[in-house]
Structure 1
Amino acid sequence: MVHGDQGKMVQEVAAELLNGGLPDRYVLSEEKRPNTTVAQPSCKLAATIPIVDVSRLAESPEEAAKLGSALQSWGPFVATGHGMSKEFMDEILDATREFFHSPLEQKQKCSNFQNEGYGVDRIDSDEQVLDWCDRLWLQLQPEDERRLQFWPQPLSECLICIGKQLLHEHTLESGRVTMEVLKAMAKLVGQKEDFFIEMVGERFKSYTRFTYYPPCPRSDLVNGLKPHTDNSVVLLLLMDKDVTGLQVLKDGSWIDVPVLGHDLLVGGDEGMEIVSNAVFKAPWHRVVTNAEKDRMSLAVFYQPEPERIIGPPGKLVHEERPPFFKRCLVQTLADGYWDAFAVGNRTVDFLNVRINDEAAVAKN
């Protein structure tokens, strides 16, 4: 059953606000509110997140070591040398902005009360505190499974559109970067370079999420996007070039991710944590809002074939490193993600996929 607030877009709520008052549905309890408003980026902040030149991973042991350190200690890293042109990245960000700034009736042609399409994230109850964002969620791969009825169409011939050609090109470019990262990750755990690629399968799924965060006059009271981890294998994120908002949890503190210009933020998620037997970590992250400016981002997620059963592979399980997760059907993980996300839990914990073995953890 679809909740009655499922069709209420945050962008419209923000446009109707008077005197800074917020609807109760978005206001966090005091202990869950962001501690501070996100500051604008600085050089010191930019140096915090590890930086990896993707173009050098195959040939440089030093660059590969930086990747390994980032994935094990942080989860995400800033990807330079990814090969996407600045012009192309600007085009897709401009198209994203144009879509969310287009008339509501035009955007509603892509609406869907399920996960895919234009809308807000799933609402399960009247008590659920809602995030301050709208999104467009589309499946990119396999190509023959694309649901084009939810893909935006141009408003006129003179306007940019997040349409088939632009999204197809982005799919190819993101896939190329992802494969290079997966090859390097396999070598880091002492395996052949197609080790993780074979686990994903030829008909792996990829999704893209365009997210729009309207300005919020009380950014100290809301989540742009609640703290969560993702259940994919690899995530590629193209962020707004002007406004910060993303934060990563590191050693118990929320760390601001600065604007990255034309660099990407890349990381492994829960799926990779499972198939690497917890060598690589899925980072907790959240988004806070800006009181004056809107913000956008574009994320691409990669998941193994849904009928596959994944778990820590035998080559990564031994006496010194026992399995940290049970074997699980990929589709079960995908289905459980939204339930876990709604309550602010990790999918592997929500579904009891993690092996709670204190002796195993101690050995790690």
Structure 2
Amino acid sequence: MVHQDQGKLVQVVAANVGLVAPPSGYMLSEENRPTTVAQQAKLVIPIVDVSRLAMPDDVEEAAKLRSALQSWGLFVVTGHGMSKEFLNEILEATRKFFHLPLEEKQKCGNFQNEGYRIDRIDSDEQILDWCDRLWLQLQPEDERRLQFWPHNLYRRSYIICRDLLHEYTLESGRVTMNVLKAMAKLLNREEGFFINMVGERFKSYSRFTYYPPCPRPDLVNGLKPHTDNSVITLILMDKDVGGLHVLKDGHWDVPVLGNDMLVVVGEGMEIVSNAIFKAPWHRVVTSANKERLSLAMFYQPEPERIIGPPGVLVHEKRPAMFKNYLVQTLGDGYWDAFAAGDRTVDFLNVRINAEADTELEGRAVVANN
């Protein structure tokens, strides 16, 4: 039976006076609730200075990147060149958007995977996440659907506007390209190795996410466990409220985060690196009395490209781990996989060598190939 609140924007549900527990459409089974997971450790995830990665002789920073990718599949990025004031402006703009009246936010529309929306509902039994989202395609620039962008508001009043988001798109894209170059160098490849696989007309999307306070955060997912449908994801975290959990060594670890920017390996990178770099499982939990914000930037290859493990990364000791697959098909399948709580490569049967992959788990996977 569909709960009467299922399908409503979560912010509307959370604003219900007297709400003492989330509606049934959001309630996790007992074994999947955050508090039933093994004891969580508060760990500081690795920090990498992206400006130093560009220096050819900075072996120390390259080693930090290698260690971060081996141990976590993500890292805090510094040296990105964006000021705290600029990043705070982005977050405040996001907050102001989600605090607008509902009818103003709904002007951003809901078309396919863009606009102001909640989870796609595939079945009556689907457990929904406790968050609302604003999805926007940013690149290529000539494919932007500006009718979905908050457009009648101004930068200095701290509402998302086109100039502010365009500037952030350029800055975060620059960081992403530098990270891709550094990852290629770790494999002793020329720095354009992964960038060439992405293509000149790569896609980038922004996901502004709002997590309202929840009266029983122990019963819901803010954002369900998942891996990212991207080559690289860049996440701007809430500067005041944590909530990101990362599955590491069989346990959900809680990184200590402040006003941090994260780089996260996506499944696309896992495919084109032949599983040398792996996409980490992560989720978000909610707070009982504080709202939380984040902005994720997803970078994906050109949709008409076919990607797979490149020949130079396939050999006797490391056979091909995935089939070649059309990027558009991977993107379309992601939403079905996400709703099912599965990885896209498993949901679409893209993986072809799971046993070999498991055998290689204990090895130093980021090596000089």
TM-score tier by shorter-chain length is: over 0.9
Spell out, residue by residue over 1:182-222, the C-alpha distance to the aligned partner (whole angstroms, 9 max, x if none): 00000111100000000000000000000000000100000
**Structure-2 change in CA distance of 1:7 and 1:114 (3 Å):** farther
- The answer for the alignment partner of 1:12 in structure 2 is 12
Q: Which runs of 5+ in 2 are unaligned?
A: 362-369
Hey, what does 1:151 align to over in structure 2? Answer: 149
Tell me, in whole angstroms, the C-alpha distance in 1 between the residues paired with 2:99 and 2:49.
Answer: 34
- The match for 1:56 is 52
Task: Establish whether residue 343 from structure 1 lines up as the match of residue 336 from structure 2.
Answer: no
Check the 8 A contact 1:6/1:119 in 2, yes or no: no
Q: Which residue in the other structure is 1:312 paired with?
A: 309
Q: Indicate yes or no: 2:157 matched with 1:139.
A: no
Mapped partners of 2:44, 2:143: distance in 1? 39
Query: What amino acid maps onto 2:219 in structure 1?
Result: L
Identical-residue share of aligned pairs (%): 73
Asked if structure 1 preserves the Cα contact closer than 8 Å seen for 2:72 and 2:248, the reply is: yes
Deviation at 1:19, TM superposition (A): 4.7
8 A Cα contact 2:5 2:13, kept in partner: no
In structure 1, the partner of 2:366 is none
User: Which whole-Å CA distance do the structure 1 matches of 2:7 and 2:359 have between them?
Assistant: 47
* Equivalent runs, 1:72-83 vs 2, <5 Å: 72-83=70-81
Q: CA deviation at 1:17?
A: 4.7
1:161 Cα deviation from its structure 2 partner? 2.2
Q: C-alpha offsets along residues 63-120 of structure 1, whole Å, 9 cap, x if unaligned?
A: 1111112112211101111111111101111100000011111001013053110010
Task: Give matches, 1:166-315, under 5 Å.
Answer: 166-261=164-259, 263-315=260-312
Q: Which runs of 4+ in 1 moved over 4 A?
A: 4-7, 155-158
Please tell me whether the aligned partners of residues 153 and 160 of structure 2 are also in contact (alpha carbons under 8 angstroms): no
Contact 1:6-1:120 within 8 A present in 2 as well = no
- Identify unmatched segments of 5+ residues in structure 1: none
Aligned to 1:107: 105
* Distance across 1 between alignment mates of 2:295 and 2:207: 6
SS of equivalent to 2:35: coil
Q: Deviations over 1:117-170 (max 9, x none)?
A: 001021111110110000000000000000111111235786222111011000
The TM-score normalised by the length of structure 1 is 0.93
Task: Flag the 1:156–1:233 CA change in 2: closer, same or farther, 3 A.
Answer: closer
Q: Deviations over 1:23-48 (max 9, x none)?
A: 110111111100279x9xxxx94x53
Which residue matches 2:364? none
Between the two proteins, the alignment pairs up a number of residues equal to 355
From 318, 343, 346, the counterpart of 1:321 = 318
The answer to whether the 8 Å contact 2:27/2:220 transfers is yes
Counterpart amino acid of 2:112? Q
Contact 1:186 1:192 in 2 (8 A): yes
Distance, in Å, in 1 between the alignment partners of 2:19 and 2:265 is: 41
**Partners in 1 of 2:322 and 2:156 — Cα distance?**
51
3-state SS, counterpart of residue 290 of structure 1: coil
**Partners of 1:6 and 1:186 in 2: how far apart?**
45
Which amino acid in the other structure matches residue 76 of structure 1? L
> How much has 1:257 moved relative to structure 2?
2.3
* Deviates further, 301-310 or 11-20: 11-20
Sort the Cα spacing of 1:29 and 1:317 in 2 relative to 1 into closer, same or farther, 3 A: same
SS at 1:242's partner residue?
Answer: coil
- CA–CA separation in structure 1 for the residues paired with 2:157 and 2:188: 49
| Distance (Å, rounded) in 2 between the aligned partners of 1:155 and 1:184 | 38
Q: TM-score, normalised by structure 2?
A: 0.92
Q: What's 1:23 paired with? A: 23
The alpha-carbon distance between structure 1 residues 155 and 83, as it changes in their structure 2 partners (threshold 3 A), is: closer
